[in-house]
Amino acid sequence: MQILTSKKPIALVLTGALIMAFLRMPLAAARSRKGAMVEVTMTDGSVAQGELLAVKSDALLIFNKASGLGRNFDLLQVGRVRVMKKSKALNGLATGLEVGLALSLYFYIRSDQHENSGLAFVTVLPITGLIGSILGALSGREDEFAIAGAPPAERELSLEALRQRSHE
């Protein structure tokens, strides 16, 4: 087969894969620190959502973009805080497909029986895509922190974890 004797198609495919990988990387200058989106459940059962601006020693500062208002929540009244994360299943799927494409190309090039080597594309791509999607979904799980009723040591650990995810 002519495609395997010429290195130009292989170089083009590998260059395309590298370009796709670099396009997915965010620019360092474009990143600005944002607070995590949280859902605060009070001890009386009321719920508020917004961006976590700051965690003080006695209060949480939350900004709700929909209403344009910031609120101050007393830590004695906060029951639990749930950090909402976006699902990363599509990012995992894309990464899994890239890895599957690279593996399939490797198996295709290294195979002696070129008639059956196309099976690598049919079998490896879906498997790696599925594995990447599952891993991406698992990495986007939500975290939940109990504030009210928690022992002081656990409460401080929860507040420190929230401070790391705040805007300030």
SS3 content of the chain, % helix, strand, coil (to 5): 45, 25, 30
pLDDT at 82: 86
Q: Which residues pair with 59 in a beta bridge?
A: 74
The whole-number pLDDT of residue 90 equals 84
Domains along the sequence of the chain with CATH:
34-85+142-168 (2.30.30.100)
pLDDT of 17-65, one tens digit each? 777 777 766 655 445 567 778 888 888 888 888 888 888 878 888 888 8
DSSP per-residue string spanning 11-65 = HHHHHHHHHHHHHTSPPTTT----PPEEEEEETTS-EEEEEEEEE-SSEEEEEET
Give residue 120's pLDDT band: very low, low, confident or very high (50, 70, 90): confident
